[in-house]
Amino acid sequence: MSNDDKTLESKDLESKHLENKHRERMAARKAVMDAKIAQAVEERGVLILLKGNGKGKSSSAFGTMLRSVGHGKRCAVIQFIKGRTETGEYKFFKDHPQVDWHVMGHGFTWETQDREQDIEAAKKAWALAEELLKDPTYDMLVFDEMSYMFKYGYLDVEPVVVALEHRPLAQNVIITGRTMALPLQEVADTISVVQDERHAFRLGVKAQPGIEY
């Protein structure tokens, strides 16, 4: 056998060894995942909190809602701060038969500069949210930027927690906002943090449709 043949044979053996090791690792990982999946037997809706100072919290919520719509689910959105109707997501979903979209806010606090108006808007938005949390025909509710209502003191968090805990068993709820009140985090099923490492706005890039709104 020539040296070249020996080299090829050695590489082939090494390749087979690596392939076998990979299969062993994947088989072990699959066994672990299968065991975890087998333990998850409870069927109910979940409360998801999307927080952090990075871009993408609302986008993640609406993406999850889109997935739900794809499965024929009925959904509703309440926007607690955004007062605009020219956003891409609003334009896409506003006439969708499975989605009820409610723009309840008047804009960010530095735009409105009217605390009493903002508090009144928050109360109206919560009154609607409370009704939706009692309605079992809604499979998913998205309360966009609701967390700021507690941060600014516009709403009390305790009645919201009570309503969340007594909502229909199969109903899923997503709440977005940079910070989350601790009582919400204590009853949440899933909490994801969106970090901010860099943002185009700080580089001087103008907000654009399809990206920021």
Model pLDDT for residues 125-145, shown as the tens digit of each residue: 999 999 999 999 999 999 999
Reported confidence tier of residue 24, pLDDT bands at 50, 70, 90? confident
Model pLDDT for residues 187-205, shown as the tens digit of each residue: 999 999 999 999 998 889 9
- Rg of the chain in Å (alpha carbons): 24
- Judge whether residue 65 has pLDDT over 80: yes
* Tokens coding 142: 């998205």
What element of type H or E holds 7? helix 3-39
pLDDT for 8 equals 65
pLDDT for 107 equals 53
Give the span between the Cα atoms of 71 and 94, in whole angstroms. 18
What single-letter amino acid sits at 165? Answer: E
pLDDT for 146 equals 97
Task: Name the residue among 145, 136, 124, 123 with its Cα closest to residue 77.
Answer: 145
Q: What is the pTM of this model?
A: 0.81
Reported confidence tier of residue 112, pLDDT bands at 50, 70, 90? low
- Judge whether residue 110 has pLDDT over 50: no
DSSP-derived 3-state class of residue 176 = strand
Share above pLDDT 90 across residues of the chain, in percent, rounded to a whole number: 65
